[in-house]
Amino acid sequence: MNATLLDRLRAELEQRRATAGLRRDLVVSGAQGPTLGVGGEPLVNFASNDYLGLAGDPEVLDSAQEALRDLGLGVAAGRVLCGTRTVHSELEAGIAELVGAEDAVLYSSCFDANLGVFDALLGPDDVILSDALNHASLIDGIRLAQARRRVFAHADLDELERCLADSAEARHRLIVTDGVFSMDGDVVALPQVSELARRYDAALLVDDSHATGVLGATGAGTAEHFGLKGRIDVLTGTLGKALGGGAGGFVAGSRAVVETLRQVSRPYIFTNAMVPALAVAALTAIRIARGRPELRERLAANTSWLRGELRDLGYEVLPGEHPIIPVMLRGGTLARDVAAALRREGVLVFALSHPVVPAGEERIRVQVSASHTAEHLERAAAAFGRVRTALAGS
């Protein structure tokens, strides 16, 4: 191994250890669910994106097992060679129907979808207008494209409009935003953003990863939540959160958009096709997400109960309705200390600290699921209560 490279990496790791600290993955035993085995102790899990609890749904798992038996593990080929199976096409149709688009195309992940969409659709004469808090995969995908990039302050419609007004020379403008932002759990002001897009003849791309399956009467996402289902030009999303928590991403939109991606999008063309059993599982998850609105009702009731309890305990909770509940614990290592204390109380949550969020905006992110029972929720509230008391006494 080259000593010059190794020496530099070791020095940088040492620097990182001394300043921000090194990340250490939490190693979990057993399956995803409302509780997780960590070091033998089951913790009540408020840290996964399994909003509808479908990762452990028996129908989802049975369908995947059957597909694994019938179709095998992997296809050892890309989609454009001999990797495409009937179930891939069925899943693409299922996604398009869920979100109200003409068509959809699968990727290995939403990260891949976001890496592959911008360069394929835009060129150097185009301008991308991107929210400052957009997901890392959107930021990277935009960097890979030849279009020029303008970043507007998070949710700042006035700045977005100024950017639109002074990019009139562009061939196309594309507004890019998360549907639900993962740090604050806030939902994009879609009616206003769509209206700006219409007025300035711009296209709109929404990454709905935290909203697909979760928001809207049938789980179609942010657009359905606002009565605008099917009106987003380009929608990207994941199968790794509410829709079973497996893996996979997609882009949905007009036939011309999807066909263009199939022809030229590099992370679609130059990678292995999705494991067919995963596609089958996602298709089952979509059917359940659409057909059982009571899962979203339970999720909303669980979220609203826990939000209320945390507020009553005196915690600063950012307002909102999404199952992401940001509990603000500003300054220093408070958020990290509280997360550690909660873990000792049997509740798994993660602290978000600088530089993931700005200094002074440190928080714990609590993520609620329809699979949480009253007992899980009460255990969380009681643990937050005891930690609050200990904080007040110290």
Q: How far is the CB of 88 from ligand PLP (least distance, A)?
A: 16
Binding ligand PLP (rule: CB under 6 A), the pick from 47, 104, 110, 170 is 110
Using an 8 Å Cβ cutoff, are 237 and 265 in contact? no
323 belongs to the binding site for ligand PLP (CB under 6 A): no
d(CA 316, CA 311) in angstroms, rounded, equals: 6
Q: Which of 88, 135, 241, 376 is catalytic?
A: 241
* SS3 assignment, position 363: strand
For the chain, what is the total number of helices (H) and then of strands (E)?
14, 14
322 belongs to the binding site for ligand PLP (CB under 6 A): no
Measured from the Cβ of residue 177, the count of other Cβ atoms closer than 10 Å reads 27
Binding ligand PLP (rule: CB under 6 A), the pick from 46, 51, 111, 384 is 111
Measured in degrees and rounded to the nearest 5, phi and psi for residue 315 equal -80, 150
Q: Which stretch binds ligand PLP (CB under 6 A): 206-214, 275-283, 300-308, 346-354?
A: 206-214
Give strand ranges (E) for 100-241: 103-107, 127-131, 148-152, 173-178, 203-207, 234-238
130 belongs to the binding site for ligand PLP (CB under 6 A): no
Nearer CB in complex with ligand PLP: 134/194 = 134
Active site residue 229: no
Q: Which stretch binds ligand PLP (CB under 6 A): 63-71, 106-114, 145-153, 191-199?
A: 106-114
Nearer CB in complex with ligand PLP: 276/338 = 276
Binding ligand PLP (rule: CB under 6 A), the pick from 85, 88, 135, 173 is 135
Nearer CB in complex with ligand PLP: 109/222 = 109
Distances (CA, A) of 46 to 27, 56, 249, 381: 16, 15, 23, 12
Measured from the Cβ of residue 315, the count of other Cβ atoms closer than 10 Å reads 20
Binding ligand PLP (rule: CB under 6 A), the pick from 92, 103, 207, 309 is 207
350 belongs to the binding site for ligand PLP (CB under 6 A): no
249 belongs to the binding site for ligand PLP (CB under 6 A): yes
Binding ligand PLP (rule: CB under 6 A), the pick from 109, 353, 367, 369 is 109
Beta strands 324-328 and 35-38 are unpaired
d(CA 245, CA 31) in angstroms, rounded, equals: 11
Buried b (16+ CB within 10 A) or exposed e, 104-141: bbbbbbbbbbbbbbbbbbbeeebbbbbbebbbebbbeb
Using an 8 Å Cβ cutoff, are 306 and 44 in contact? no
367 belongs to the binding site for ligand PLP (CB under 6 A): no
Map residues 154-193 to x or -, x wherever contact with ligand PLP holds by CB under 6 A: ------------------------x---x-----------
d(CA 349, CA 44) in angstroms, rounded, equals: 9
Number of chain residues interacting with ligand PLP (CB under 6 A): 13
Active site residue 210: yes
Nearer CB in complex with ligand PLP: 240/323 = 240
Measured from the Cβ of residue 325, the count of other Cβ atoms closer than 10 Å reads 23
Q: Which residues are catalytic?
A: 182, 210, 241
Query: Which residues of this protein are in contact with ligand PLP, per CB under 6 A?
Result: 109-111, 135, 137, 178, 182, 207, 209-210, 238, 240, 249
